[in-house]
Every structure is written in structure tokens, then in C-alpha cells.
Structure 1
Amino acid sequence: MKMDELLLEKWLIDLEKELNYKKIKHINEIITDYREHILIKHLETKEPIERILTSIGSVDEIVNLYKKKQIVPEKIRSWFVFVNGCFFAAGAFLTFCRHSGYFVSIWEALAAVNWFILFGYAGFWLFVGYQLGKEFGVKGTLELPKTILFTTIPNVVLMACVLSNIIPKPWFESMLSPGFMIACVIITLLFYPLAMLGVKLGMRFSL
């Protein structure tokens, strides 16, 4: 075994011991994640593993970071739920106002850029995943399903109501062409893959 590999294995063993001592959850996933990302960075940049380990920080620093990360996820999830709720509430408010004869020009302006809004919203989910991966590492992949579940309930309920005509489609006639409705369904199904891609990117750039 090469010196770099020996150094990495020793570092991972020390990390595992400290994680166990501090009773951190999901230790196997954390160790696997660090091994993969360090080796990928080493292969891509040819940077010595010793230097990569130095840039990551000491074992104690990493363990303390994960100790803090076990406390914070609820607050982060609540923040994303709040932001998405604001998007949803703003849309509902504008819809109501438009059918009451107010803010018609704003509605029409938004309808003209509806595709931009849709792809921007998809980008929001990429950002959600990126932040989870950057802040929580492997734990971000575990937090993601709960975050998506709590955050997208209003979206799924609204889509189901529109598709089943519980909410009349004419309310959104200038916004919802058949092609756009299909795209909305597809983007909704892609929330999880997009967010997971963001998690992976966040984990990678956090190293």
C-alpha cells in the first residue's frame, strides 16, 4: 500500500474512533463519503493526500462539526419550508387578486415569463440540496426526503386540485398551457433528483 493510502486509512480510522466516542450517527456513511471524496480530489488534482487532509481540518474539528450538525437540521428544514410557503402564498394571493380585478398587469407579466419561473423554481431545489450537502455532508442525503416531504405538500395538493378540476383550470388560463402543465408535473417529479444532485455538489465543494 502506498504512503498516501496508508496515511488516508490511518486518518479514517482515527476519525471513526472519534465519531464513535462522540456517539455521532451514520458513521459508516460519513467514513465512506470522506474516503470517496478525498480519493476523487486526489485523482483529479494530483494533490498529495496529506495536503488534502490538512485543508479539510483535524479529526477533532470534523467530529465537533458533526456534533453541531445533529442539532441544526430542524431549523434549516423549517427555513426552506417557510421560503417555499412564501412562494406558494404569494402565488395564491396573486391568483385571488387577479380574479378580483386587481394586479392584472402583474399577473400577465408573470404569465409571460412562466417558463423562466418554472426553471427558476427547479433551480431553487438544486440550491436546497446544495445547502444541505454543504452544511450537513452525508447527513444531508438523510435530511433531504423529510425536507422535500414537508416543503412540497402545498405544491402537490395544488397540482392535484388543478388536474382534477377541483380548482377550475380557467383560473390559470393565461398561465397554464397544456405543455406548461406537463412540464410542471415533470419538474415536480424531478424535485428529488435535482435536490440530490445539489447535495452531492454541496458535499464535494465542502471538502
Structure 2
Amino acid sequence: MTYHKVKKLYLEQLGNELKKHAEKDEILIDYEQHISELANDCDIEIQTEQEWMFYITERLGTPKGVARIWKEELAVSQNRTLIYFLLVNLLFFIFGGLLTVLHFTLGLQWFSEVWRFLTSIPSLLMILYMFFWALLGYEMGKSFGANGKKLLKKTFAIAIIPNLSLLFLVLFQIVPHEWFHPLLTKTFILLCITSTVFLYPISYLGFCWGKKKSV
């Protein structure tokens, strides 16, 4: 019974240290198995609770130390996710900018065909872009659970900068509307403004759905 009591105590302490870690349940299950394996492989005589605790912490680390490692790993994973989505979002604007510049500078026939095709499906492009934001929220909810909410807000706050910058340039005609003809109609600009307003709610709905899937 001494071993089982120490095992329970270790896992309780680890759970308290992990707090609301996104993978808390999986970590506890994993370490419960590790402790059981240590007990089965133990070839020395252990009698007291102190000896069992020393034996376990000597091989697995203290609950506080283990929790710190997992928290650090979570922070690294969140940063990677943040950078990944920021880069993908930025690539949309880089691709669009390059396409516009090349269309007006090269004057190639096939390039013009691509340009005409893309400018003929603005609604589809907008839907795909909004789906990207929903996917962003979903992945953060699924990967990090409730802990992903702050990450979602941070990602949105940074990623929305190119969107707002482009809207500003277009609305104040700093960017000539002729560059995006026939895409930039008043209706399309209004739709862009409306969709920008709804980007966070859409990503948050995706986050909530992903969070449910993570449970």
C-alpha cells in the first residue's frame, strides 16, 4: 500500500503543478505508467514512503521539475503555431502583391489569364480566406484547449495588421484602384470590410469547435 500511496501523491502533486496544461490528462496517464514500470523493474528493497518517493523522483524528476519541462515545451509549441499561421497569412499578401506587380510589368498572356481568373472569383477567394481563419482557431483549440485562447488573440492581433494596412491603402486610394480592376468595386470593398470585422468571431468559433474535439 505504501507504493500506491506515494504513486497517488506524486501524481496529485504533478497535476497541481501542471494546472491547466492542455495535455494534463495525457501527461498524468503517461507518468502513471512510468511509475508502475519503475515499481515492476525495481530490484531493491523499498519499505517507507520516503524511500519510494526518493526512488521515483530520482528517476523521473520531481513533480515541479516535470511540470516545468512540459510547460516549456507547450510554450515552444505555441510559438511555432503562432509563427506558422502568421507566415501563411503573410504569404497570402505576398502572393497577391507579386501577382499584381508581375501582371502589370511582364504583360505575359498566361499571366493575364491567371489574373483574370482570380479576379473573376472574389467571393470564392474570400470564403477560402475566412476558412483559413476558422482553421486557425480550430487548430489552436484542438492543440491547446482552453490555453489556446490567449494564443488565438495574440495571433489575430498580429495577423490582422496586413489586412488593416491593405484596407487603409485601398480606402484612401494610396493604392490605385486600377491595379486591381475589375476586382475593386464598391461592393467588394464593403464585403472586405465586413469580412474583416467577422474574422475574429469566425476564428473564435473554430477555436470553440477545436476545444471540444480536444476533450
2:209 corresponds to: 201
Q: Distance in 2 between matches of 1:173 and 1:182?
A: 16
Task: Give the aligned partner of residue 148 of structure 1.
Answer: 156
Answer yes or no: is the 8 Å Cα contact 1:134–1:202 preserved in 2: yes
Q: How far does residue 139 in structure 1 lie from its aligned partner after superposition?
A: 1.2
The farther-off stretch of 120-129 and 80-89 is 80-89
Asked if 2 retains the 8 angstrom alpha-carbon contact of 1:81 and 1:150, the reply is yes
Name the structure 2 match of 1:20. Answer: 16
Where do residues 82-161 of structure 1 align in structure 2 (5 Å cutoff)? 82-100=87-105, 101-102=107-108, 103-161=111-169
User: What is the total number of aligned residue pairs between the two structures?
Assistant: 166
Shift of 1:112: 1.1
Q: Distance in 2 between matches of 1:71 and 1:178?
A: 43
CA contact (8 A) 1:133 1:141 kept: yes
Which digits, 9 at most, give the CA deviation of each residue in 1:46-66, with x for residues without a partner? Answer: xxxxxxxxxx75745599796
Distance 1:124 1:82 in 2: 13
Check conservation: 1:134, 1:199, Cα contact below 8 A: yes
Q: Once the 2 structures are TM-superposed, how far is the Cα of residue 15 of structure 1 from its aligned partner? A: 8.8
Deviation track 1:54-113 (CA, whole Å, cap 9, x = no partner) reads xx7574559979633233111110001111111111100011112222421111000111
Instruction: Give the corresponding residue for 1:172.
Output: 180
TM-score w.r.t. structure 1 length?
0.71
Residue in 2 that maps onto 1:81: 86
User: Alpha-carbon deviations, 1:154-206, whole Å to 9, x = none?
Assistant: 12111110101111112112112211111111111111111111111101112
Matched-pair contact (CA < 8 Å) for 1:66–1:136: no
Corresponding position of 1:4:
none
Distance 1:167 1:58, change over 3 A: closer
Question: Using the alignment, how far apart are the partners of 1:149 and 1:58 within structure 2?
Answer: 31
Q: Pick closer, same or farther for the CA change 1:185–1:17 going to 2, 3 Å.
A: farther
Residue ranges of structure 1 left out of the alignment (5+ in a row): 1-13, 35-55
- AA aligned to 1:78 is I
SS in 2 for 1:175: coil
Q: Give 5+ residue unaligned stretches, structure 2.
A: 1-9, 32-65
**Residues 82 and 58 of structure 1: CA distance in aligned 2, closer, same or farther (over 3 Å):** closer
Calculate percent identity across the aligned residue pairs: 30
Q: Is the 8 A contact 2:86 2:158 kept in 1?
A: yes
| Match status 1:191 vs 2:199 | yes
